[in-house]
Structure 1
């Protein structure tokens, strides 16, 4: 599992970690039943604060992608335990697409970008 965090990024560290773990789940590198390193181990490996990792793990738990149990490692559940409404995904994508239009992207450019991203998980 390769995770790289950029301390100079505009994206908060906990969000970078959460996003990377989501990508690893989507790519099948992390599968249902796999466990993540403990919060302390992940923090030490990445050189970040324990609370940052904890916040990432809790965000993934809220999304239904991992299960956290006291005194146990976080386990990947891949979202299969929770039905995700199409509206939730649309709500998350809408501001991104709006920003692309606001920056002058045309519909075909946005579609090309979206399809390029989709190919990563096919």
Structure 2
């Protein structure tokens, strides 16, 4: 999996890294049990601070995407990611509210918004970028 970071983006680097790893899992580029580079190795490979990688890895661990073992290193959760439950749906609703509000303020209609969401969802469902 190729990691591409935009160092000029307003989005923090650790968030970009976290999102790209989640996207890699969603697209099937990384399977349950697959290893990821160590914090030091990932930081050196992509040229960022190891604390940035550590922050991304810790969040991915908290959210159940990866496991961090002392002997085995960092692996995609072998049991797979926990399926969506009510708590996740509530979090998703809170995340979508400001995006939808901003889209309405910028003149997008519901159909355009839903088509965009559908297009992006299909990209992940097909394993495409």
Contact (CA 8 Å) 1:66, 1:79: kept in 2 or not? no
Long gaps (5+) in structure 2: none
**Larger strand percent:** 2
How far has the Cα of 1:121 moved from its partner?
1.6
Is residue 2:85 matched to residue 1:95? Answer: no
Q: TM-score, normalised by structure 1?
A: 0.90
1:98-113 equivalent positions in 2, closer than 5 A? 98-113=101-116
Is residue 2:53 matched to residue 1:50? Answer: no
4+ residue runs over 6 A deviation: none
Q: How many aligned positions are there?
A: 122
- Partner deviation per Cα, 1:25-57 (whole Å, 9 max, x = no partner): 000001100011000010001100000000000
Is residue 2:12 matched to residue 1:9? Answer: no
**Range 70-79 or range 57-66, more displaced:** 70-79
Counterpart of 1:68 in 2: which secondary structure? Answer: strand
Q: Distance in 1 between matches of 2:8 and 2:116?
A: 25
Long gaps (5+) in structure 1: none
